[in-house]
């Protein structure tokens, strides 16, 4: 029996404490990119971890790239997957895969290889994506 069984038995209420994810998350949502891959017909998926704050479907993320690079990636979150399940939000400490609306594979950096051009995931690894506005309250 896990936590979900206990919550189901008590009608969804855990009287011992308020779930940690319902607490207000202050500051910008920051997502650190670990890898990027492209799903044919769907677009790029950014995988990584939420470093701080909260990210929700609909939030606009913008890449914090070095000014010397030409990377300009920005878009609203259209899908989040965390722990092999679709989710509406992720919070600091969560690992997730995120798809951004309006970002296509053509917007990502490519490098030349012997077989042609390949997605340059190394150029994106470690970069941070931030929400445009700080989130200080949660919707109930």
Sign of CA dihedral 53, 56, 61, 65: positive
Which pLDDT score is estimated for 5?
41
Give the HSE-up count for residue 90: Cα atoms under 13 Å, Cβ half-sphere: 28
C-alpha dihedral, 140 to 60 to 135 to 13, nearest 10°: 30
Whole-prediction pTM: 0.72
Is the pLDDT score of 96 beyond 80? Answer: yes
What's the pLDDT band for 80 if we cut at 50, 70, 90? Answer: very high
> What percent of the chain has pLDDT above 70?
71
Paired tokens of 12: 């969804």
What tens digit of pLDDT does each residue of 5-55 get?
444 444 444 444 434 444 445 667 999 999 999 999 899 999 999 999 999
Taking residues 67-84, report their average pLDDT: 85
Other beta carbons less than 10 A from residue 77's beta carbon? 25
């Amino acid at each position: 029996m896990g936590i979900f069984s206990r919550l189901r038995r008590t009608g969804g209420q855990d009287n011992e404490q308020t779930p940690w994810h319902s607490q207000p998350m202050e500051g910008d949502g920051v997502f650190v990119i670990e890898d990027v891959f492209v799903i044919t017909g769907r677009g790029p998926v950014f995988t990584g971890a939420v470093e701080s704050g909260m990210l929700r479907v609909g939030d606009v993320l913008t890449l914090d790239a070095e000014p010397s690079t030409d990377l300009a990636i920005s878009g609203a979150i259209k899908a989040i997957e965390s722990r092999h399940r679709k989710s509406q939000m992720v919070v600091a400490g969560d690992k997730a895969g995120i798809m951004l609306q309006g970002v296509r594979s053509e917007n990502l950096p490519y490098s030349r290889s012997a077989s042609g051009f390949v997605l340059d995931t190394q150029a994106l690894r470690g970069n941070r994506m931030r929400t445009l506005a700080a989130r200080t309250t949660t919707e109930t």
